[in-house]
């Protein structure tokens, strides 16, 4: 088998890159470890930055998003019983789109199917070879036999535990990591959202987030110990704890019901440098992880896709290598800014085990300053709707 660009990972980042390249006449093959059904069942992020929305349009897969997505022009922040709104539209002239990651992935799969492009699922033992040589290739087990895929470039969109980053010599890369001492217990329920926009809550009992997928499907999260298991939390226990963390005015509007999904996600930050080694480029979670507090995980992957797609197009159309040479530096410059935003939001809204009385008062002062200061709100809004590429 041979292709121009081999993409390891059939999640939204890999599929979006493949779709953008296809529209420019660049051949791709996508290799995915899991089944298609497994990929589509993942319950993940749902807040799309302005830049991500534009890329969906550029990729020709925005029709369902435009019809079913929910435009959000702001978000609410609560601390105690104080609630204030950050008006994205007024402060930046932009908005975000609420549209689930699984729906993005579904749209991209359907576009790939319609174009008759090759996507291989349930690929085992994927291994990149000769990544710093002239002829890189990938070996993998699929359909009961070993296969070889020759290519010009290998793109690792295969997540934190994938084989692509592991193929880079350890002495050639450096990882930066911070692990937070808590997780998020998340619940998905077929109930109307408590508010028409996202609500971020700082309470003395810990963080809570009120989100949604649509008008009849809500997602809620509460900060919890890392040692907890979803089985430790009945639905009644979750709703009772959520109510303790919401302002009173929202508790009166909260509609509860059976959960249809429940999980606990740890919070951490991780950045790998560099994001290129020879003919292999890392993209998305393969190179960086951010806490979900700032809604930057999927969106940071999308900015990688933007830089990488543009660089590959310049290579194939103009024999211009500058974009490929500059990819890692350009991507990392934006990644670190998003990592800062996620770190700041996490510190602003969560309770930490080691916080002193002084630390708590400083956290409250920071929230009060944000409440009262338009310049501070504008900085938050600019980061939330998405920094420019």
Give the C-alpha separation, 192 to 36, whole Å.
29
Its sign, for the CA torsion 332, 334, 338, 344, is: positive
Give the C-alpha separation, 250 to 148, whole Å.
56
**The pair of three-digit structure tokens given for residue 271, joined into one six-digit string:** 């950045």
Which class for 170: exposed (0-12), middle (13-18), buried (19 or more C-beta within 10 A)? Answer: exposed
- Contact between residue 280 and residue 156 where contact means Cβ atoms under 8 Å apart: yes
Q: What is the gyration radius of the CA atoms in the chain, in angstroms?
A: 21
- Contact between residue 109 and residue 127 where contact means Cβ atoms under 8 Å apart: no
CA-CA distances (angstroms) from residue 29 to 3, 97, 331? 6, 29, 23
How do beta strands 153-156 and 5-8 pair? parallel
- Contact between residue 304 and residue 284 where contact means Cβ atoms under 8 Å apart: yes
Give the C-alpha separation, 214 to 102, whole Å.
13
What residues are annotated to the active site? 72, 200, 292, 296, 384
Give the C-alpha separation, 85 to 77, whole Å.
6
* Beta-carbon count within 10 A of 195 CB: 21
List, in order, residues 6 or more apart from 278 with CB less than 8 Å away.
131, 132, 133, 136
| DSSP labels, 120-184 | E-S-EEEEEE-TTSSS-EEEEEETTEEEEEE-SEEEE-S-TTSHHHHTS-GGG-EEEEEEEEEEE
CA angle 91, 100, 267 (to 5 degrees): 80
């Amino acid at each position: 088998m041979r292709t121009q660009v081999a993409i390891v990972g059939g999640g939204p980042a890999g599929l979006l890159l493949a779709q953008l390249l296809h529209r420019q006449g660049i051949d791709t093959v996508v290799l995915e470890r899991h089944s298609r059904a497994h990929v589509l069942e993942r319950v993940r992020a749902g807040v799309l930055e302005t830049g991500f929305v534009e890329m969906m349009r550029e990729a020709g897969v925005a029709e369902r998003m435009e019809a079913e997505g929910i435009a959000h022009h702001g978000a609410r922040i609560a601390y105690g019983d104080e609630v204030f709104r950050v008006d994205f539209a007024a402060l930046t002239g932009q908005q975000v789109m609420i549209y689930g990651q699984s729906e993005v992935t579904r749209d991209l799969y359907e576009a790939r199917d319609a174009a008759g492009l090759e996507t291989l699922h349930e690929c085992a033992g994927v291994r990149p070879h000769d990544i710093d040589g002239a002829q890189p290739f990938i070996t993998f087990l699929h359909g009961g036999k070993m296969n070889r895929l020759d290519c010009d470039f290998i793109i690792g969109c295969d997540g934190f535990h994938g084989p692509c980053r592991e193929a880079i010599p350890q002495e050639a890369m450096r990882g930066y990591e911070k692990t937070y001492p808590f997780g998020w217990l998340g619940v998905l329920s077929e109930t109307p959202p408590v508010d028409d926009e996202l609500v971020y809550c700082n309470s003395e009992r810990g963080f809570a987030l009120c989100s949604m997928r649509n008008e009849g499907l809500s997602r809620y999260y509460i900060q919890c110990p890392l040692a907890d298991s979803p089985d430790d939390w009945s639905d009644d226990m979750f709703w009772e704890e959520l109510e303790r963390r919401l302002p009173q005015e929202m508790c009166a509007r909260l509609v509860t019901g059976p959960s249809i999904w429940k999980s606990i996600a740890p919070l951490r930050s991780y950045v790998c440098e560099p994001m290129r080694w020879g003919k292999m480029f890392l993209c998305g979670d393969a190179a960086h992880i951010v806490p979900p507090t700032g809604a930057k995980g999927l969106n940071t992957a999308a900015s990688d896709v933007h830089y990488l797609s543009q660089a590959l197009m310049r290579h194939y159309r103009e024999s211009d290598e500058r974009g490929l040479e500059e990819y890692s530096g350009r991507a990392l410059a934006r990644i670190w800014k998003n990592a800062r935003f996620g770190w700041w939001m996490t510190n602003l809204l969560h309770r930490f085990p080691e916080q002193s009385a002084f630390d708590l008062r400083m956290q409250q002062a920071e929230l009060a300053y944000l409440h009262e200061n338009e310049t501070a709100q504008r900085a938050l809004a600019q980061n939330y709707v998405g920094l420019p590429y």
